Structure 1
């Protein structure tokens, strides 16, 4: 029996080694496309290019923010049109929202994306929080249909 085990061990060793080596698979084509849409949104914001930002939005897109000011937390709608005007209005400092993709979930033509962020005006830290994006896949590709975010100045990752 020991002899049989010794003879089989060299044959089984590569199987165990292969299982021990795990790699993170590259993102799917759809995941990459969803991430590219969100990156284009923030790249346009950094360039103060409201047309580029607007091209990432679905018709009827909705923006919300959750505030934690004095009093209980509240949900506030924000106007996408006003946001686009603000992005395109000349300002001295670059609006730089630095995100990380923590989770991208996709089913058919719907994607949900979770991104922690830190926002800087130029090199000055402004606030941080999390974005939750809902995207839809339209004929023109993935577009942002809804963004809701949290905002705070402390307890940033």
Structure 2
């Protein structure tokens, strides 16, 4: 009986470790996306995405809520086009939820161009686990210049 109990604890621990491992892997992918952006490296950036992910931004202009639909290509071009200042998206309080091969992350951010604050908001990442690798399938974000979450 004691051996059975020990085995059950061990298996529970392994299951928990695997869940943590996936959470760490998702966290790493998200951080690598922002590392590639800071480096201006569009080649590194695109490898963290599925082909043709959803890329959207929700923002307010002149009192109206607008939805902009972009593309990974647009994002990669913006990141990879030489620019003097570093595009630096600072994130905090990342919250990740995982169910099997699906992950969702709530990612508050502040965006800086060089040292100058540009805007803030929240990114919502959706990731899928394909062939053992987590890939971004969708990003939708909000953008504003006040009431930042951190």
* TM-score normalised per structure 2: 0.84
- Unaligned stretches of 5+ residues in structure 1: 1-24
- Aligned-partner Cα distance in 2 for 1:155–1:100: 15
The answer to whether the 8 A contact 1:94-1:122 is kept is yes
* Length, aligned pairs only: 133
Residue 140 of structure 1 and its aligned partner are, at CA, apart by 5.4
Q: Where is the strand percentage greater, Structure 1 or Structure 2?
A: 2
- Aligned-partner Cα distance in 2 for 1:140–1:54: 17
**Structure 1 position 113 matched with structure 2 position 105:** yes
The structure 2 residue matched to 1:147, chosen from 119, 127, 139, is 139
Matches within 5 A, 1:118-137: 118-137=110-129
CA RMSD, 1 decimal: 1.6
The structure 1 residue matched to 2:58, chosen from 57, 66, 78, is 66
**Structure 1 position 32 matched with structure 2 position 24:** yes
* TM-score normalised per structure 1: 0.80
Q: Which contiguous aligned blocks of 4+ residues in structure 1 show a shift greater than 3 angstroms? A: none
Secondary structure in 2 aligned to 1:87? Answer: helix
Secondary structure in 1 aligned to 2:83? Answer: coil
Matches within 5 A, 1:3-14: none
Residue 106 of structure 1 and its aligned partner are, at CA, apart by 0.2
- Unaligned stretches of 5+ residues in structure 2: 1-15
Bigger Rg, which one: 1
Secondary structure in 1 aligned to 2:129? Answer: strand
